[in-house]
Structure 1
Amino acid sequence: MFTAAFYWIAWWLFQPLNRLIGYRTTPSELAAKLALDPTKPVVYVLAARSWGDLFLLDRICRDHGLPRPGRTGTNLPSTSQAGALYLPALLETRIRDTALTAVVTRAAADPAFDCQVVPVSVFWGRDPGQETSLWKLIFADSVQAGMIRKLIIMLVNGRNVYANFGLPMSFRDFVANQKAPDFAVRKLGRLLHIYFLHARTAALGPTLQNRDVVIQQLLNTTRVKEEIAAETRRGKLNAEQTAAKARRYAEEIAANYSATSVRFLEIVLEFVWNRIFRGVEVFGMERLRVEAAQGHEIIYLPSHRSHADYLLLSYVLYRSGLVVPHIAAGVNLNFWPAGPILRRGGAFYMRRSFGSDRLYAAVFRAYVDSLIGRGYSISFYPEGGRSRTGRLLAPKAGLLGMVVESALRQSARKVSIVPVYVGYDKVWELSSYFKELRGAQKQKESASDLLKGAKLLTKSYGRVHINFGEPMQLQEYADKHLPGWRDSLRAGTETPPGWRDFVGRLALANHRRVNAAAVASPVSLAAVAMLASPQRAVSRTEFIEQLAHLVRLLEGRPYSDTLEIPVKSPAESLEWAAPIARIATVPHPWGDLLDVADRDAVLLTYARNNIQHLFAVPSLIANLFRTRAALSEEAVVTGCRALYPFLRTEFYLRWEPAEAEQVARDCIEVMLKQGLLLRNDDGRLARPGVSTPEFSTLAMLGRVMGETLERYCMTTLLLADERRTQQSVARDKFEEDCRRLAERMGVLTGRDSPEFFDKALFKGYLDTLIDLGLVTEGEDRKLLVDARIERIAERSLELLSDETRQTLLQLLSRRPQAATVALETPSL
């Protein structure tokens, strides 16, 4: 009786404070995500004995329309009264009988009783505590906190509370799967204990170490000590000077993570994002939570399109109740005041190239080992730099190899690699990107850029889309693709045979999962359709029809399970995209027209390139009908199968080459259902009549990959030309010739698209030809061309329009300083 009275007194006294508490929940839409069954009682399980946690839980349930927890005493919870249970009380029943023992045992033994068990973690503040800081140990939340310390923690952190609700579990289903009721109760306690430990680590991360301690530990590692000794023997510095040099490297690299700084950055960034963006949409968070809930250490590998990526990823994770990762940032960002701020937000710095500085490499590798060993989540960009075109850059395997090796050498926990797609309606660096693609020098980041950045607050850049893709469990991936890794890496020996290929394969797998998690936003869909329209102008009615077809293509044959289409209404997509993409409306008596200026069209290519890969196969199929009214299905499938390896290399498509035939057939079926293709009486596939809306969409769809196919054609024609003249050609010169040909072609055809002559794209296509055995690269980097390339060059011309084909052949015939042989246009 006394305890009950004291409880209610405490409840009333707590209410003024309860109303002032600022909390966030995960998931944010509790009622919808938990989907509690109203016919079954609910039991909330809290991680610690705390009336403060219970009183806050009551308020959260009231705010979200959930059953409110109450004191049930020795009675079982009912549909009219939810129960609340502290994990320590449940664990105590494993040691001795308590008042709770009889209640739980009776519930387990009664086959007619069932309830929904919902674990709830309440975190007052987001500070994991620091091992050597008494101040932080006092004010950081702790499950061991006593009454007085808990009250202090609540007062200090009351505006930054996070409550994580686990998905409900059926008590009866769990008991039914165990051999005895008492055993079930004990096992339930163990499982919940593990769940709460994982939830705490996912939200707060491991306890922090003082930065000076971290640096000293790095210098004391065997790897660094050995390299200091070797450097001393090699160089002009003595041992003390070399050790001081290693310390400078460590201080340059190491993060100085501060929960207080992260909280401050969240407040500042919320203001900034609200000014320059019209929303930050997050997808795939539940996939990520599954990995975090299982206690996996997370390595985030996002796409890299803007300097905002660093801050956005941390912001989104923190707002979603997950610990902010340590992020590898280029040392170019380590300038005052941005460098120290980012460092306190979890950034650690690395040089673009280690060169021959073995001491720096040893210190950096030791730091990566320390992060992995202590269980910190890590994020870095496998592309190495920001994409200037909107497409994924070829992955760089250096840092990935270090992180993966460190992760596989430790056996304490499982590691998951999480691909992250980051897309923008509009990237604020676009103008500088296109200048760099045209040859301008990249400007070095500096403090003055921050002052210029204030202008961003006066502009709107639309919406940001972040999608966490399908994770890869690293150890399982290694078991499949690197046999014997456990024996070699765990034994501390050198990396196993095939390590370089394994890391390269892993990097490509992540890229494909990033693209699989693409977000087909209204702006990117509008960019796809507008840039594929002749002269970048189209009637409003036709444009809306084309947007509808693009969405139905993605829905009819989804690119992946992780693909997201946030807006499916074509009219709503146009309404959103028009002001951001600067699509102008031109009134006309026969119906409004849509138009985009030349400069804005160039900027739109970035948004198109974010999702162009989603339409690679449908566009290829449409291209095959550019000069043919009808084709057999087998001819279409054969064409797709032949070109798919090149598309896969350039766009990091998710399907294996062996799957290309089935993917092509699936796309054909979807296009038939939409009327974009017809099937004749003789069974052949045919394009629709030229006066139909479907023909217009098919033509637009074919132009989506038009520039890509033109580049393929240029490369094969140049290779065939080199073979006919029997001239040996250096690879570097050939790639430069391809770029110059594309550059000239772009000028003559009025194409203002800098990525059209991006040298990296020709390099990737040449790599695929080498993989297929059509080109051989010698040790001197000279190219030997197979005779089959001439037939491929002739067939590739069929994918071009008459005007483009004529222009390209004229350019080749007039190529300077080359004895060219005229190519006849094949009969079509």
Structure 2
Amino acid sequence: MTQTVELPLWLFVLIVAFAAVTFASHFLFPSVRWFFRRRLERAVARLNQRLERPIEPFKLARRHDMIQRLIHDPQVAQAAADHAAAEGIPENVASEQVRRYAREIVPGFSAFAYFGLAIRAARLLSNAVYRVRLGHQDEEALRAIDPKSTVVFVMNHRSNMDYVLVTYLAAERSALSYAVGEWARVWPLSRLIRAMGAYFIRRRSRNDLYRKVLAAYVRLATRGGSTQAMFPEGGLSLDGALAPPRLGLLKYIVEGYDPDGRDVVFVPVALNYDRVLEDRILTSAAKAGERRFRARIGLVALRLLRQLWLWMTGRYHRSGYAGVNFGRPLSLAGFGAGREGDITKPLARELMQRISAIVPVLPVPLIAALLLRHGALSRAALEHRLEDLIAAMPLAHVHMPRENLSYAAGTGLRQLMRRGLVAESEGRFAPVEDRRDLLAFYANSIRHLLPQDGAQPDGDRVFSAPANLNAASARS
């Protein structure tokens, strides 16, 4: 026992390293984790005092614990057993698939990443790209929502900037948890998105086991009071118009709703832009007749560098206005009262109707609609048509920059001419023929609000909302 043992230096260093790691993991790391956990809890407590809806414990739970909770959910366990029997595979193989799906779905929320980094970055990016305007919002109705209920923001999907814009504008209300598609599952973006509380979904998956795991997570999040944000259209609009709702996530929320537990309150949110950054990609996909499109990372980086160069040389111009409106909340308990059977479809229709009613009407969509409808117009004729059109939409939410119709017309024209969508000839402005699809993309965003063109994607009713010509700036 007292004999001298000779070891190579590298082996001795390796043994000491393993011993140090073992000591730290058993004695030091738990104390350090507890210390930082306590500091985090105090920081979150202070943060919750200024939030309209405090961060629920569900969102703050450790990711590992949430994965285990999801794996051992009775409905998920039964689904794994059924899947194993149907596919003729061992149950442990099906359980491993469940574990993989759970790790893919469950986020790892970080209050520091969300409120320390994401909110500031969202504010900076939103105001750098657009003139952000927060229009209609029923503040009294929003404040009247039961604090114990689960709030779900439901939005039309115009651009990937939707995530950024709503995160920024809802910063004083709560931390939002988004359902994010496969496009964001790239390193290091995926880790940042998980830290912001978003969860990944496979929108096109037909795997029943995967859907059961996803449904279980949505049910746990909803019952846990986690504030969520979702796009009922299920994807970006390819033609600019509102699309029929898809029922996936909404159905999971309805099926997981417990009448004896928390109420679920849906808050409609409508967004619109003078310029959608992905408009060419989306219209090209519409021409091709397929939704499979991807912006190459090199192309995105090149465009960002170009915009940075324009900013450095003093030639940068923001991409017009971005408008956001918040609609009248809808209680799931109230909507389902007296209704029998599955209420998912009527609920989806009602939510889309409320969203369509509050879509912001901005200068570029207005000018695009007028030029497509009437052809070449002089500046005076355009302003006259614009005045008539706005008068014919008394219930729409029109954003009038500086409350000046002439300035609004000029703003819309400048944006369209700068991008080569409209050309001026002999004092008349007309659409550029090979760019009409892009003009239609913007005009379609308010098509359902225009007179004599009010078909809804989910029916034949025309919905609109109280007029509001004075949208507040969201700049801080």
Query: Structure 1-normalised TM-score?
Result: 0.47
Provide the residue aligned with 1:593 in structure 2.
428
Contact 2:360 2:399 in 1 (8 A): yes
C-alpha change, 1:417 and 1:463, in structure 2 (3 Å) is: same
Provide the residue aligned with 2:149 in structure 1.
296
Of 323, 330, 335 in structure 2, the residue corresponding to residue 477 of structure 1 is 335
Provide the residue aligned with 2:234 in structure 1.
384
Provide the residue aligned with 2:414 in structure 1.
579
C-alpha change, 1:282 and 1:141, in structure 2 (3 Å) is: farther
SS of aligned partner of 2:243: coil
Provide the residue aligned with 2:216 in structure 1.
366
CA distance in 2 between counterparts of 1:367 and 1:584 reads 48
| CA-to-aligned-CA distance 1:648-689 (integer Å, 9 cap, x gap) | 456764459xxxxxxxxxxxxxxxxxxxxxxxxxxxxxxxxx
Displacement of 1:315 in angstroms is 1.9
Contact 1:513 1:654 in 2 (8 A): no
Of 581, 602, 611 in structure 1, the residue corresponding to residue 446 of structure 2 is 611
CA distance in 1 between counterparts of 2:93 and 2:383 reads 69
Displacement of 1:609 in angstroms is 1.0
Provide the residue aligned with 1:342 in structure 2.
193
Provide the residue aligned with 1:510 in structure 2.
351
SS of aligned partner of 2:267: strand
Of 283, 288, 294 in structure 2, the residue corresponding to residue 434 of structure 1 is 283
| CA-to-aligned-CA distance 1:743-799 (integer Å, 9 cap, x gap) | xxxxxxxxxxxxxxxxxxxxxxxxxxxxxxxxxxxxxxxxxxxxxxxxxxxxxxxxx
Provide the residue aligned with 1:317 in structure 2.
170
| 1:305 maps to amino acid | R
CA distance in 2 between counterparts of 1:133 and 1:462 reads 48
Q: Relative contact order (alpha carbons < 8 A, sep ≥ 6): 1 or 2 greater?
A: 2
Displacement of 1:386 in angstroms is 0.5
Provide the residue aligned with 2:123 in structure 1.
270
Aligned residue-pair number = 417
| CA-to-aligned-CA distance 1:161-211 (integer Å, 9 cap, x gap) | 7985xxxxxxxxxxxxxxxxxxxxxxxxxxxxxxxxxxx561434461000
Displacement of 1:140 in angstroms is 4.1
Contact 1:299 1:378 in 2 (8 A): yes
| CA-to-aligned-CA distance 1:48-94 (integer Å, 9 cap, x gap) | xxxxxxxxxxxxxxxxxxxxxxxxxxxxxxxxxxxxxxxxxxxxxxx
C-alpha change, 1:429 and 1:247, in structure 2 (3 Å) is: same
| 1:530 maps to amino acid | L
Matches within 5 A, 1:615-634: 615=450, 618-619=451-452
Matches within 5 A, 1:409-558: 409=258, 411-439=260-288, 442-444=292-294, 447-448=297-298, 450-452=300-302, 454=304, 455=306, 458=310, 460-480=318-338, 482-483=339-340, 498-499=341-342, 502-534=343-375, 537-555=376-394, 558=395
Displacement of 1:306 in angstroms is 1.1
| 1:432 maps to amino acid | I
Unaligned runs of 5+ in 1: 1-131, 146-152, 154-160, 165-199, 484-497, 621-643, 657-828
Provide the residue aligned with 1:332 in structure 2.
183
C-alpha change, 1:576 and 1:503, in structure 2 (3 Å) is: same
| 1:526 maps to amino acid | I
Contact 1:327 1:348 in 2 (8 A): yes
Displacement of 1:136 in angstroms is 3.9
CA distance in 2 between counterparts of 1:449 and 1:269 reads 22
| 2:275 maps to amino acid | K
SS of aligned partner of 1:594: strand
Contact 1:291 1:416 in 2 (8 A): no
Displacement of 1:275 in angstroms is 2.7
| CA-to-aligned-CA distance 1:289-310 (integer Å, 9 cap, x gap) | 3244654321111001111112
C-alpha change, 1:284 and 1:602, in structure 2 (3 Å) is: same
Unaligned runs of 5+ in 2: 1-32, 311-315, 465-476
Displacement of 1:342 in angstroms is 1.4
Q: Is 2:248 the counterpart of 1:398?
A: yes
Matches within 5 A, 1:675-824: none
C-alpha change, 1:246 and 1:584, in structure 2 (3 Å) is: closer
| CA-to-aligned-CA distance 1:310-351 (integer Å, 9 cap, x gap) | 222222211xx1112211111232122222211211211111
CA distance in 1 between counterparts of 2:165 and 2:224 reads 24
Displacement of 1:531 in angstroms is 1.5
Q: Of the two, which has the highest radius of gyration?
A: 1
C-alpha change, 1:569 and 1:201, in structure 2 (3 Å) is: closer
SS of aligned partner of 1:204: coil
| CA-to-aligned-CA distance 1:518-572 (integer Å, 9 cap, x gap) | 11112222222122123xx1111111111111222223xx25xxx3434453202
Displacement of 1:448 in angstroms is 4.1
CA distance in 1 between counterparts of 2:459 and 2:87 reads 46
Provide the residue aligned with 2:104 in structure 1.
252
| CA-to-aligned-CA distance 1:570-614 (integer Å, 9 cap, x gap) | 2021122121121768575xxx43334234443221221111211
Provide the residue aligned with 1:137 in structure 2.
38
CA distance in 2 between counterparts of 1:576 and 1:363 reads 48
Provide the residue aligned with 2:473 in structure 1.
none
CA distance in 2 between counterparts of 1:446 and 1:133 reads 43
| 2:107 maps to amino acid | A
Contact 1:613 1:653 in 2 (8 A): no
Contact 1:257 1:346 in 2 (8 A): yes
C-alpha change, 1:599 and 1:136, in structure 2 (3 Å) is: farther
C-alpha change, 1:330 and 1:403, in structure 2 (3 Å) is: same
Displacement of 1:139 in angstroms is 4.3
C-alpha change, 1:581 and 1:295, in structure 2 (3 Å) is: farther
C-alpha change, 1:376 and 1:546, in structure 2 (3 Å) is: same
Provide the residue aligned with 1:486 in structure 2.
none
Query: Structure 2-normalised TM-score?
Result: 0.79
SS of aligned partner of 2:399: coil
| CA-to-aligned-CA distance 1:197-247 (integer Å, 9 cap, x gap) | xxx561434461000000000111111111222233333542333222211
CA distance in 2 between counterparts of 1:139 and 1:363 reads 30
Displacement of 1:471 in angstroms is 1.4
CA distance in 2 between counterparts of 1:133 and 1:379 reads 32
